[in-house]
């Protein structure tokens, strides 16, 4: 069984920590600063309380007891698998991977990133062990959505991929698909241009936000419309993934529309900030 470390306890990091602890693993979560640590703890407690209420777990307290939250990366020294889920910024992530490489001592430890779009190669080569670095890309909300994308770089060892597959499928009970190390992998390369097209429709006055979303829900059997989905993903993350896709492929369909950029500038980030295309209480 892996001893898991998670870096970042935002929407994704908290979800990843939760599914690992629910699978019986010992989890250490690192956050940056006291306020973010407190917010991460609240996020975990609220999600586990919901899971307990719905009968998905016996005891939220038992699961929480397997998760230790800290501000110190050094506590990850004995981990056999670390999953990074911090802000979608290549430089910040590469610096973190260089630090983790120095801190995590097990010679066969895997350093994984939950990045949606940053080349795994850039993170692998920030370390001295690129054969043990890969993308393990979860989906939001992590406790609910059953998919992970496994993303080896050109330098990732096959054994690393197989261990990650076994972790995702056998331990966490997720379904794993394998993707090449290209911005967006499979799901976001298809999903992000679709969301951006919806933002452009709204921006041009072509249709209202409700009609765009209802159109896809009622006309194409999507569980939620593209604008509501962007709010769930986070508009900052949506924009960052679009920028990475645009940077990689230079296709106009990946270019973030001005409305999305202005909303991010304004701090309208979707559900996590309380307001995006819709307002949340």
The alpha carbon torsion through 217, 223, 227, 232 (nearest 10 deg) reads 170
**124 in Cβ contact with 90 (< 8 Å):** no
- 90 as an active site residue: the answer is no
Active-site position among 113, 114, 116, 153: 116
Q: Which is nearer to ligand NAI, 77 or 157 (CB)?
A: 77
Instruction: Give yes or no for a contact between 42 and 50, defined as CB atoms under 8 angstroms apart.
Output: no
Helix, strand, coil % in the chain, rounded to nearest 5: 50, 15, 35
Measured from the CB atom, the residue of 187 and 207 that comes closer to ligand NAI is 187
227 binds ligand NAI (CB under 6 A): no
Chosen residue from 47, 116, 132, 156 binding ligand NAI by CB under 6 A: 116
- How many angstroms separate the CA atoms of 197 and 241, rounded? 14
274-279, Cβ contacts within 8 angstroms, sequence gap of 24 or more: 276/230, 276/231, 276/235, 277/202, 277/209, 277/227, 277/228, 277/230, 277/231, 278/209, 278/227, 278/228, 278/231
E strands along 31-184, which residues? 67-70, 81-84, 110-113, 133-138, 147-152, 175-178
Selected range binding ligand NAI among 19-27, 60-68, 231-239, 247-255, rule: CB under 6 A = 231-239
**149 part of the active site:** yes
Stretch that binds ligand NAI, among 102-110, 111-119, 128-136, 251-259 (CB under 6 A): 111-119
Binding-site residues from annotation for CoA: 47, 54, 116
Residues 252-281 that bind ligand NAI (CB under 6 A): 272
Interface with ligand NAI in residues 17-76 (CB under 6 A): 30-32, 36
| Site string (118-147) toward ligand NAI, x via CB under 6 A | -------------------xxxx-------
Confirm or reject binding of residue 191 to ligand NAI (CB under 6 A). no
Supply 102's token pair: 């120095």
Residue 11 makes contact with ligand NAI by CB under 6 A: yes
Identity of the residue, 216 or 269, whose beta carbon is nearer to ligand NAI in the bound complex:
269
CA distance 175 to 159: 18
Separation of alpha carbons 8 and 37, rounded Å: 9
Binding region for ligand NAI (CB under 6 A) out of 80-88, 102-110, 147-155, 197-205: 80-88
Query: Measured from the CB of residue 241, what is the shortest distance to ligand NAI in angstroms?
Result: 6
Q: Is 245 in the site for ligand NAI (CB under 6 A)?
A: no
The verdict on whether 222 is a catalytic residue reads: no
Q: 3-class SS at 64?
A: helix
Structure tokens at 227: 């604008």
| Whether residue 188 lies in the annotated active site | yes
Instruction: Check if the beta carbon of residue 44 is closer than 8 Å to that of residue 4.
Output: no
In the complex with ligand NAI, which residue's Cβ is closer, 61 or 190? 190
Q: Which is nearer to ligand NAI, 61 or 241 (CB)?
A: 241
The annotation places the binding site at: 47, 54, 116
Q: Which positions are annotated as active-site residues?
A: 116, 137, 149, 188
- Interface with ligand NAI (CB under 6 A): 7-13, 30-32, 36, 85-88, 96, 114-116, 137-140, 233-234, 237, 272
């Amino acid at each position: 069984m892996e001893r898991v470390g998670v870096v970042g306890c935002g929407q994704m990091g908290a979800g990843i920590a939760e599914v690992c602890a629910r699978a019986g693993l010992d989890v250490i979560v690192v956050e940056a600063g006291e306020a973010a640590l407190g917010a991460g703890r609240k996020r975990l407690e609220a999600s586990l309380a919901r899971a307990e209420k719905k009968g998905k777990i016996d005891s939220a307290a038992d699961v929480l007891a397997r998760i230790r939250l800290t501000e110190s990366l050094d506590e990850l020294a004995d981990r056999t698998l670390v999953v990074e889920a911090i802000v979608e910024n290549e430089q910040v992530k590469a610096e973190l991977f260089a630090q983790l490489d120095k801190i995590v001592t097990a010679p066969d430890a895997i350093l994984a990133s939950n990045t949606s779009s940053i080349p795994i190669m850039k993170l692998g080569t920030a370390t001295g062990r690129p054969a043990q670095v890969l993308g393990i890309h979860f989906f939001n909300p992590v406790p609910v959505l059953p998919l992970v994308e496994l993303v080896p770089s050109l330098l990732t060892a096959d054994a690393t991929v197989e261990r990650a597959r076994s972790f995702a499928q056998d331990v966490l009970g997720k379904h794993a698909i394998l993707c090449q190390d290209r911005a967006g992998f499979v799901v976001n390369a298809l999903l992000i241009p679709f969301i951006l097209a919806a933002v452009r429709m709204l921006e041009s006055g072509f249709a209202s936000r409700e009609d765009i979303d209802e159109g896809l829900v009622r006309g194409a059997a999507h569980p939620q419309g593209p604008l509501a989905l962007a709010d769930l993903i986070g508009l900052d993350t949506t924009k960052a993934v679009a920028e990475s896709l645009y940077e990689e492929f230079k296709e106009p369909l990946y270019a973030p529309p001005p409305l999305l950029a202005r909303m991010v500038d304004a701090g309208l980030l979707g559900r996590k900030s309380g307001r995006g295309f819709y307002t949340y209480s």
